[in-house]
Amino acid sequence: MKFFVDTADVAAIKELNDLGMVDGVTTNPSLILKAGRDIIEVTKEICDMVSGPVSAEVVATEAKAMIAEGMKLAKIAPNIAIKVPLTWDGLTACKAFASEGHMVNVTLCFSPAQAILAAKAGASFISPFIGRLDDIHLEGVNLIEDIRIIYDNYDFKTQILAASIRSVNHIVDCAKIGADVITAPPAVIKAMAQHVLTDKGLEIFLKDWAKTGQKIL
């Protein structure tokens, strides 16, 4: 499973990238706002750092304007994935971008029917939002499973990019289901290393080591 980092924080991306934990990056207007930087500038910096796909999102809502914005974003770097919303206009733009050979990430997916349309339109990635479904008392990971079954039935090439990841359990569940990619905030990815028994075991080892009176260095 590939790890994409859901942030526009360059320092956080670099830390994970140096450990080999970054296969790509996803951004959106909210993350650009949080970073407080120019979208073109920060996206270019991320693309220079990360070799995998970097999603940059259009903000227009009409297909013609989406296409114009997307083409400008695509000029930032060869590894840009143009991000469009799962609307009819977004699907129209997706088809146009895919026809030109650009990677496309279709976002804000909340149903299997939407995911089918995105695959038919040539999306490189479909981004189902797990956490936001959980927020309305639906099992978000069930959507990942439904899409996996459908895509495998028809050998769709669109990669399932599980988004709106809120917890380590979300990541593990997506891995078991067979999501191609997860995108998560840096803090959630780093939390995967944490376990109470690891902390407890390390504490015991260190106490015992101190009793030996020895030093390694």
CATH number at residue 94: 3.20.20.70
In a domain, 52, yes or no: yes
Overall pTM > 0.85: yes
For 43-99, the DSSP string reads HHHHHHH-SS-EEEE----SHHHHHHHHHHHHTS-TTEEEEEESSHHHHHHHHHHHH
Beta-strand ranges (E) seen in 89-152 are 103-109, 125-128
Active site residue 34: no
Please tell me the distance from the alpha carbon of residue 29 to that of residue 13, in angstroms, as a whole number.
17
CA distance 83 to 168: 25
Is 182 a domain residue?
Answer: yes
Q: Kindly report, residue by residue over 67-94, the tens digit of the pLDDT.
A: 999 999 999 999 999 999 999 999 999 9
Q: How many domains, in total, are found in the chain?
A: 1
The reported pLDDT for the residue numbered 98 is 98
Q: Amino acid letter at 10?
A: V
The string of pLDDT tens digits covering residues 12-49 is 999 999 999 999 999 999 999 999 999 999 999 999 99
Check 2, 83, 120, 190 and give the catalytic one.
Answer: 83
HSE (side-chain half, CA atoms, 13 Å) at 173: 17
**Residues 132-178: pLDDT tens digits?**
999 999 999 999 999 999 999 999 999 999 999 999 999 999 999 99
pLDDT at 66: 98
Instruction: Kindly state the average pLDDT of the residues 121-127.
Output: 98
Tell me, yes or no, whether 217 lies in a domain: no
What is the domain range of residue 202?
2-212
Residue at 193 is within a domain: yes
